[in-house]
Amino acid sequence: VTELRTLEMADFTRMNLPAEFRKVKPEDIPESIREPISRYVSQVDQMLRDGLGLLLHGPAGVGKTTTAAYVACEVRRRAYPVFFVTVSDLREMIRTRVGVDDGTVLERVRRVKLLVLDSLRAEDATDSFFGAVDLARLLEARSSWNRATIVTTQIAPAALRTSFPGMMEQARTACVEIKVTGPNRRDHVQEKLQERLGITRKGV
């Protein structure tokens, strides 16, 4: 049994994990996928050894990023290097060469043991700077070094295969596809925000 570390500010900073997702608990994972995610985490050493990640797809607000952050923290607690970034932020980091403290961004995202590529969008396919072909190359480089990647996206796999054919070809053997379903949790967050100002929904 691996000794689990307690994550400190330095871990979160180095992981590039947004503050909102630093205190994710197992209960925050959408119920529909809690079992497979808990199995992934319980086998995480083997998963990382084999370079196996996840492709979390589903509608907005169901908890895809929350789930990816949970897994990222569990992996970091086992002392593996982790990097968490949205695809659009990654493009900006590579373009401007800022955002990481050592080495080049691209070297780091190619080699880090677990990479979370959050919020892959349709526009990411057509960007001339870091588009579908570059993403496919990144996934290919990572697979060949047995580096695991977690991708989150609102795009369904069929559409992904059209817009990101190379990347999806890599993902076939490197990521377990998981459909995330459930309510849009941002509705609940909005209700709580309105309650703070004494606004109550009428006629419900």
Residue ranges in 147-166 that form contacts with ligand ADP under rule CB under 6 A: 152
> Which element (helix H / strand E) includes 177?
strand 175-179
- When asked if residue 185 is in the footprint of ligand ADP (CB under 6 A), the reply is yes
Q: How far apart are CA 204 and CA 112, in angstroms?
A: 49
> Which element (helix H / strand E) includes 57?
strand 53-57
The binding track of 51-90 with respect to ligand ADP, each residue x by CB under 6 A or -, is: ---------xxxxxxx------------------------
Among 97, 162, 188, 194, binds ligand ADP (CB under 6 A): 188
Within the chain, residue ranges assigned H as helices are 9-15, 34-42, 44-49, 64-77, 87-96, 105-111, 123-126, 132-144, 157-163, 165-174, 185-196
CB of 5 to ligand ADP, least distance (A): 23
Question: Which residues are at the interface with ligand ADP (CB under 6 A)?
Answer: 20, 28, 60-66, 152, 185-186, 188-189
Question: Which residues are at the interface with Mg ion (CB under 5 A)?
Answer: 64-65
